[in-house]
């Protein structure tokens, strides 16, 4: 059973560019969340998708947007990249109706903005 997968592993972009990160959830999971983890910090919640809609959003600007596809996979898009967007981006999947709300994390995408 494959766990949560993310692509690419690493990415280098220039300020002002746009980037798309991808995530495939664990088999049987229908909810995908995205987190940003700056160096030396804990992950910060960006947003969550369920049934192809954004259900919750953290304190991130509109430059951060996402999408969920019918197969439950998800994309995170960041426009007009800033140096401060450099971080590890983590995708987590879960099942909506599970009471424990346990989230399973992927290995992350390391984004470097120069």
Partner 1 sequence: GNSVTQMEGPVTLSEEAFLTINCTYTATGYPSLFWYVQYPGEGLQLLLKATKADDKGSNKGFEATYRKETTSFHLEKGSVQVSDSAVYFCALNVNTGFQKLVFGTGTRLLVSP
Residues at the contact surface with partner 1, assessed by CB under 8 A: 4, 31, 33, 35, 40-45, 48, 50, 55-56, 58, 90, 92, 94, 96, 99-108
Compare residues 75 and 105 and give the one whose CB is closer to partner 1. Answer: 105
Cβ closer to partner 1: 39 or 83? Answer: 39
Comparing CB distances to partner 1, the nearer of 14 and 84 is: 84
Both structure tokens of 77: 């898009």
Residues 24 and 29: their CA atoms lie apart, in Å, by 10
State in Å, rounded, how far the first CA of the chain is from the last one. Answer: 37
CB of 69 to partner 1, least distance (A): 19
For partner 1, the closer of residues 10 and 15 by Cβ is 10
Pairing state of beta strands 64-68 and 10-13?
unpaired
CB of 11 to partner 1, least distance (A): 16
| Closest distance to partner 1 from the beta carbon of 99 (Å) | 8
Q: Could you tell me the smallest distance in angstroms from the CB atom of residue 57 to partner 1?
A: 9
Q: Which residues contact 99 (CB under 8 A, 6 or more apart)?
A: none
Encoded tokens for 56:
């919750």
* Residue (of 74, 90, 81, 103) closest to 37 by Cα position: 90
């Amino acid at each position: 059973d494959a766990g949560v997968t993310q692509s690419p592993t690493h990415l280098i972009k220039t300020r002002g560019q746009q980037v798309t990160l991808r995530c495939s959830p664990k088999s049987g999971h229908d909810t995908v969340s995205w987190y940003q983890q700056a160096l030396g910090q804990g992950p910060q919640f960006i947003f969550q998708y369920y049934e192809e809609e954004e259900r919750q959003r953290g304190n991130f600007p509109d430059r951060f947007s996402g999408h969920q596809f019918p197969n439950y996979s998800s994309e995170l898009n960041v426009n007009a990249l800033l140096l401060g967007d450099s971080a590890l981006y983590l995708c987590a999947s879960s099942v909506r109706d599970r009471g424990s709300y346990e989230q399973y994390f992927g290995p992350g995408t390391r984004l470097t903005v120069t």
